[in-house]
Structure 1
């Protein structure tokens, strides 16, 4: 069974996503199952490092913080765009030194930063352990460094390292 479904959670979530994006018919369920099982087997051949979660209790806190930040950022970006003539906006890049080394934690941080409107993960330099972040409305670089390090990186290090 492990050979057919090396990543059962991935297979199940892909199947659920397929059914949610398409109709709930037997044909779509069958096609979604074939695609999900195939994707799971491709992942097994890539042999990714399996994440180790050390503090499960920090995950709900991280989810709540990210959800609140995404909501707040949506409102802030919408205001900036709608009041474009009245507000002076300066976009820019911020280099953030990271202490986080876990690959899964870095991937989660990339998802958080990229899913938050107004920010984009541009580059990660593994040799220097720095993140290059693009910010839509850059007012204070230090504030962004503090936000990433104390709000996200600290929790991700608790969870994964």
Structure 2
């Protein structure tokens, strides 16, 4: 976490020296200080984990945005067509995530996606129960959730 602290400190110095106190300027300072730190601390192993995480975060965000677009399109199509294609059901997802933060993040990402809702985690924290509006192919749906879980594991690991 030391690298993030340096990144924030340099970004705040950027905001103060520029004299423009806006969120956009802070974000610009974060990006600029990230690039400066990546160059200056390229040989420091304690910073390597921090700089390796940004590509994973960007990849995760793009993956999740694409998931949101697909889910919204499916729900919107079902709303505007006269026939309803819903086949609601509950699916049990075996969890590879072990910590509370990871399980909470995974459940919240599922709930944020239209057409799905995380219901409960089993008492032994090995299964997450999810309600789906469209349970067409349980194996495919389970594979999609496991792909999301793998990305959460990669992001938090």
TM-score (norm 1): 0.61
The 5 Å alignment of 1:1-161 reads 56=53, 57-83=55-81, 85-127=82-124, 129-150=126-147, 152-161=148-157
CA distance in 2, matches of 1:149, 1:54: 26
When the two chains are superposed, the root-mean-square deviation of aligned CA atoms in Å is 2.3
Aligned in 2, Cα 1:54/1:129: closer, same or farther, shift over 3 Å? farther
CA distance in 2, matches of 1:128, 1:110: 12
Task: Give the structure with the larger helix fraction.
Answer: 2
SS in 1 for 2:86: coil
SS in 2 for 1:101: coil
Aligned in 2, Cα 1:156/1:55: closer, same or farther, shift over 3 Å? farther
Q: How many corresponding residue pairs?
A: 109
Q: Which structure has the larger Rg? A: 2
SS in 1 for 2:120: strand
CA distance in 1, matches of 2:152, 2:66: 17
SS in 1 for 2:143: helix
Q: Which of structures 1 and 2 has the larger relative contact order (alpha carbons within 8 angstroms, sep 6+)?
A: 1
Stretches of structure 1 lacking an aligned partner (at least 5 in a row): 1-8, 10-52
